[in-house]
Structure 1
Amino acid sequence: MLTELDLTNYHLPDLTGVEIEPSLTAIDLTANRLRTLDPRILQLQGLRCINFRQNLLANVSAWSTCECKGTLEDLEFRDNHLSTIPCLKGFVHLQRLDCSYNQIRNLVPLADLDSNRLEELYVANNKVTAITALSHLTALTLLELGSNRIRMIEGIASLTCLRELWLGRNRITKIDGLTTLVNLRRMSLQSNRLTSMLGLESCAALEELYLSHNGITTLEGLAPLTRLKILDVSSNRLTTVEVSALATLTQLEDLWLNDNRIPAIDVALDRALDPVRHSLACIYLEGNPAASDPQYKRKLVNMLPKLKQLDANFL
């Protein structure tokens, strides 16, 4: 009895010549040329996982009529031509949903998703303008909304199980709405419109923080983030590292400061790096005036005895 069907990279325009057995529980249709949903797939009652990645689907509204609502756990429509997320009412066991790389404008259809098991939601690289209709998805541990048109961090206060929040490449100007997200481990706000780091103080469990390509001028608000291991503030407008900025980050292993305006490798920088002197294994400083120092490498190696990587070079 066949339970899995893998048609990856077959470039099929449709499934006319393919036998769809009722016993199927997993189907992978990645990299085909499908424009419509085969009615036989909609009739499968035991389907748990289906992947429509890299097809030509523009309208999948028929998915709301499928007969696997009580079993489906993993659904992927990544990299198609969708303008809207299909109605997912009744999909009570859904754990993972990926609608990234489409032309979706809002998250409103997710208000009807009544699964209390959804753990991972990916709607990156679309045209979403606001974070809405997610407050009931309280089991989410990962939310990926990068490369959209979002201006505010909102509507996620109830998502207290979140461990990963990816909001890079949006239009966010302020870090806000995170006070209840005390379980966050990874967060990305790269390539937004931030001028301040303040607003992260409640996220004391953070281990990785990515803030590159913004307009940040000061390292601040980091004191509560004592578990931080990776801090990326590259491509900002930093002119100095304040002596107190890294004072509590004694577990920091990677520090990305490249492409800022730090003037020199001097006593002030030495003092600022003192709290991470025995934890830091990687530092990026290229693209700063400081990197033009003829003794650049020697000075940093002397400052940081545990250093294993300077910029892209392993020591």
Structure 2
Amino acid sequence: MQIGAPSMAVQSVDQPEELDLTGFHLHNLADVTVPPDLLVLDLMTNRLRELEPPILSLTGLQRLSLRQNLLTDASNLSQANFKPTLQALVLHDNQLTEIPQLAGYTALQTLEVSYNSISSLQPLTSLQSTSLKELYVANNAVQHIEAVDHMTNLRLLELGSNKLRQIQGLGTLHSLQELWLGQNRITNMSGLNQLTTLRTLSLQSNRLTSMVGFGSCIHLEELYLSHNGISTLEELERVPNLRVLDVSNNRLTVVSGLETLQCLKDLWLNDNHIESLEAIEAAAREGGLSSTLTCLYINGNPAASQSGADLKGRMLMAFPKLEQLDDTMIT
């Protein structure tokens, strides 16, 4: 396939229903032959500024990727012939200021509009389908969580790097398993009390001073709270299935409640103000951490610097399954 050719013969013997034009630096589709029976069309990393008729006329398309283009407006998606069949729409890294109206997209399962200039989720009300399972709106300018309450089958919601100040509008998302809210302006964890199916929660780089609020997420397995202002470990006894806990870069002076975590494998406590290792060692003796913990970050605390060369020996004595201590692999 050559860009200079008058027409591009795009269907291959192996994958006659897929067309991958990634990185062809296309400004338009004037010299591209788009087969009418495509199921997958990938136009990532080009210079397209609009959705052209050859795309919109496709009738059975299931996946469309326009990642890293120059789109400023995707509103003509409302005219597409593939509305009943499209399962994945990727508009990541363009210049969109609004989420397009998606009425009629009854099969859509994945919507990716991260890295744009979107300020509101309100247009999502047009997507009346409950088929959506993954929604990515990271690195935009969204101020409120809204217009997602009808997405009852949503499993992943990514809203990191926006302008959110509170967690709201999630009470009906009873299938949600992953919630990514890092790098926002959130001050507390209220609004999570009905998310009992949640497995992963990320709130790193926000404005939290307390951990209170996540305890209803009883099936939680991964909790990321680094780079906040948390001074006390709280509600850990309510999440016995936790495997990953990251509370690095906070204001912890002591640790407590770790003995209730019977499944924990990764523990990030680095860059806090922890003055003693005794509570950590006690958690190993009193709970099950001694047989589960494989990764521990503790550097950047007074307790670690004061222990000096004894740190590794003490931690291995407490956690014999340890495979990594800070940046060092243990062999």
TM-score of the superposition, structure 2-length normalised?
0.92
1:5-43 CA distances to partner (integer Å, 9 max, x unpaired)?
Answer: 100011111111001121111100010011111112111
Cα shift at 1:272: 3.2
- In structure 1, give the amino acid aligned to 2:248: S
Query: Does 1:51 pair with 2:65?
Result: yes
- SS of 1:79 mapped into structure 2: coil
Residue number in structure 2 paired with 1:179: 193
Report the Cα offset of residue 303 of structure 1. Answer: 1.4
Tell me if 1:213 matches 2:227: yes
1:252 equivalent to 2:267? Answer: no
Q: Which residue of 2 aligns with 1:163?
A: 177
- Distance (Å, rounded) in 2 between the aligned partners of 1:9 and 1:288: 46
TM-aligned CA deviation for residue 78 of structure 1 = 0.2
Question: Does structure 1 conserve the Cα–Cα contact (< 8 Å) formed by 2:258 and 2:280?
Answer: no
AA aligned opposite 1:227: N
Which residue number in structure 2 is paired with residue 283 of structure 1?
296
Aligned length: 312
8 Å CA contact 1:241, 1:272 repeated in 2? no
For residues 192-241 of structure 1, what are the alpha-carbon distances to aligned partners after superposition, in whole Å with 9 as ceiling and x for unaligned?
A: 00000010111010010000000000001111100000000000000011
What CA distance in whole angstroms lies between the structure 1 residues aligned with 2:276 and 2:311?
9
Counterparts of 1:119-130 in structure 2, within 5 Å, are: 119-130=133-144
Q: Deviations over 1:258-290 (max 9, x none)?
A: 00001133x333213432122111110011111
Give the Å deviation of 1:59: 0.8
What are structure 2's unaligned runs of at least 5 residues? Answer: 1-10
- The CA RMSD measured in Å over matched residues stands at 1.0
Q: Is the 8 A contact 1:200 1:222 kept in 2?
A: no
DSSP 3-state at the match of 1:277: helix
Deviations 1:54-93 (A, max 9, x none): 0011111111111111100000000000000000001000
In 2, the alpha carbon distance for the partners of 1:25 and 1:287 equals 52
Match of 1:62 in 2: 76
Gap runs ≥5 in structure 1: none
Shift in Å at residue 52 of structure 1?
Answer: 0.2
Among 242, 262, 270, the residue aligned to 2:274: 262
Q: In the alignment, does 2:90 pair up with 1:79?
A: no
Aligned residues of 2:89 and 2:110 also touching (Cα < 8 A): yes
The aligned runs of 1:105-144 (5 Å cut-off) are 105-144=119-158
1:9 paired residue number: 23
4+ residue runs over 2 A deviation: none
Deviations 1:99-136 (A, max 9, x none): 00000001000011011110000000000000000000
- Matched residues in 2 for 1:269 and 1:99: separation? 42
Distance 2:271 2:78 in 1: 48
Paired AA for residue 125 in structure 1: N
Q: In structure 2, how many angstroms separate the alpha carbons of the residues matched to 1:273 and 1:33?
A: 56
Which AA in structure 1 matches 2:272? N
Is 1:300 the counterpart of 2:315? The answer is yes
Cα deviation, residue 167, structure 1: 0.4
Q: Deviations over 1:131-178 (max 9, x none)?
A: 000000111000000000000100010001001000000000000111
Distance in 1 (alpha carbons) for counterparts of 2:237 and 2:280: 18
The Cα of 1:305 is off from its aligned counterpart by 1.2
Contact 1:146 1:169 in 2 (8 A): yes
Partner SS state of residue 247, structure 1: helix
- What secondary structure, in the 3-state scheme, does the structure 2 residue paired with 1:297 have? helix
Whether 2:212 is the aligned partner of 1:198: answer: yes
The question of whether the paired residues in 2 share the 8 Å contact of 1:280 and 1:306 is answered with yes
How far apart, CA to CA, are the structure 2 residues paired with 1:216 and 1:309? Answer: 25
- AA of the residue aligned to 1:185: R
Matched letter for residue 292 of structure 2 = S
Counterpart in the other structure of 2:102: 88
Q: Give, in angstroms, the shift of residue 247 of structure 1.
A: 2.6
